[in-house]
A and B are shown apart, each in its own frame.
Chain A
């Protein structure tokens, strides 16, 4: 591997540390839930603009897509910033299951939830 270029990949090592084995070309799901941690709240004033906004915004749990929309960021940018914050422990993530379309109890649960809508 004689790659002389500096590391310019948008993919950060968070993928390897997120707690489950992921292929390296994977990225954070747009529906992944993001919640600021107390560590993030404590570091809030030291952070740069967008990261600080994400910490403030995610006192209320929301998805990566909602963060992107709220801060008018390209979704790819929101994704990288959230991943960075997660790596630092400033936000807590909840990612979707690996194969939700095969998860019968989850599908039933969503069906019940929708049926309750009037």
Chain B
């Protein structure tokens, strides 16, 4: 089984003059669940966005490796599954259409079998042909998991994975996290104790607030 690793090398992020974090050095590897925690505004979402190459750090770099091969930024999206409250799917499409379009845009064949399996696992199979516009926030959150897992990514980033979910939704998500962690790398940004309970190691972002001369 090929290992997926992510190395954070001296990451620094400023928003304007405000320091978010400074000097994060860390290494993530497959078959582990890592947590990122910290109070509101500590930069949890910012850090996961930087890991997913959605935004750039002010300093330092993130290196993604699949086996020995370093992944180029333009290919990174094929290896990452991302779930977050600020990720939105297309309201004017049905759940299934969203998944078909996402597979086509990725340039992979739509795997109906996997899609149906995930829709079933997350209790959305019966609503797969309904427009996302009519979904509740919890259903949208569950659909985001299917969107993130459909292409079988090696790195799964979950920013507040259980937001908007009821207890049964949370149980399903925890089951999926445990299953996926057998072969993949999972990073969870959250403050929920129950989410962080699943993690083998947790990064406390408050420790990286120290300002150095920039």
Q: Note whether A and B form a binding pair.
A: no
**A contacts, CB < 8 Å to B:** none
